[in-house]
Amino acid sequence: MATNNRLQGSGNQSFQQIEGDGWPSTYLPAFGAATVMAVVLFLAISCSRKSDNSAKIAAPAAPAVTNPAPTTVAAAIPEPPKKIKKHRPANATYVNGTYGVSFSYPRKYSLQTGNEKSTVPVQANFVKPGAVEIASVDMPDSSYTDTDFSAGLLNVAVNPGMTKDECTQFVTNSDAKSADAPKPEAVKIGSNEFTVIEQMSGELEHQSDLKYFHVFKNGVCYEFAMDVETSRKPDEDLAQVDRGKVFQQLSKILTSARIKNVELPEVQNAEKAPTVPATMAPTTKTVPDAKAENAQVVTPEQK
């Protein structure tokens, strides 16, 4: 029995020893491998989660900016208006409110009014004294170069001491014989019906060609006188100016002349003026300063 117990005891001990020695050797490598695999798998999952979190935490990419189609500025903003160059008018207009006279003349011409003295004074041709100078327009001396032209002008005057019949009369030139004396003629120029006469005076070295135009309005006699002066020296070789062309330029001023209906205080004393012979040269006086104040020069824009 004791032997059997020992046998049994030794057998159990061997079994236990075999059993204890076999399990680690059998399962330990597998357990270790599983542990390693679990650690690797855990690390792999952790890295994967970190990468996902990093991707989620990272700032979102800026959206691509697309440039809008350019708009046309010219269509939205109107173009500024073009500056219009104002050209100075070629003509000016003279207006005398006292006697109702107005006319247009080239701006390059010289205008004298009232008591201003003309560079080439023209003697009025009235059969009675009492002429009143209103205005005169002189052409430039350089209007006709290389010719014997020296002056060209238009003079305006009135005589309040004359009747309608006397306004059609003129003082004859003392140099002309009665048979050769020019006769007055009736002509219409512009809006006025004139009585006109032409007279020549002077020598070859200096000549004056005069045309007088009379019209009776507002109870007074209005006179428009055109004068074309020529001069030359014996040693000068100059062409003769075409007087017809000069008169044509002066006639443009006369064509524009207008005479308005006005009341003149001088008309009341017209019958009191003394009569003089037609051969007597009339005197001329200038416009008083009070009347000169009613005269003005205006341009086409001021009309």
Residue 59: pLDDT above 60? Answer: no
Dist CA 94 CA 77 (whole Å): 46
**What average pLDDT does the chain have?**
77
Q: Assess if residue 104 is contained within a domain.
A: yes
Q: Tell me what pLDDT residue 225 has.
A: 97
Section 45-50 average pLDDT: 66
Residue 75: pLDDT above 90? Answer: no
Q: Assess if residue 284 is contained within a domain.
A: yes
Q: Tell me what pLDDT residue 261 has.
A: 93
Q: Assess if residue 57 is contained within a domain.
A: no
Q: Assess if residue 67 is contained within a domain.
A: no
Domain count of the chain?
1
- pLDDT classification of 133: cutoffs 50, 70, 90: very high
Identify the weakest region by mean pLDDT among 19-28, 205-214, 263-272. 19-28
* pTM for the full predicted model: 0.63
Q: 277: domain CATH number?
A: 2.60.120.1690
Domain range for 144: 91-302
- Maximum average pLDDT range among 138-152, 169-183, 263-277: 138-152
Q: Assess if residue 43 is contained within a domain.
A: no
Q: Tell me what pLDDT residue 298 has.
A: 63
Section 142-157 average pLDDT: 93
Residue 244: pLDDT above 50? Answer: yes
What pLDDT digit, counting tens, does each position of 272-297 carry? 545 444 444 444 444 444 344 455 66
Q: In what order do the strands lie in the sheet with 258-259?
A: 258-259, 101-106, 91-96, 295-298
Residue 3: pLDDT above 60? Answer: no
Q: Assess if residue 54 is contained within a domain.
A: no
- Maximum average pLDDT range among 57-71, 248-262, 269-283: 248-262
Q: Assess if residue 79 is contained within a domain.
A: no
What percent of the chain stands above pLDDT 70?
Answer: 62
Q: Assess if residue 19 is contained within a domain.
A: no
Pairwise pLDDT comparison (106 vs 77), residue with the higher score: 106
Pairwise pLDDT comparison (26 vs 129), residue with the higher score: 129
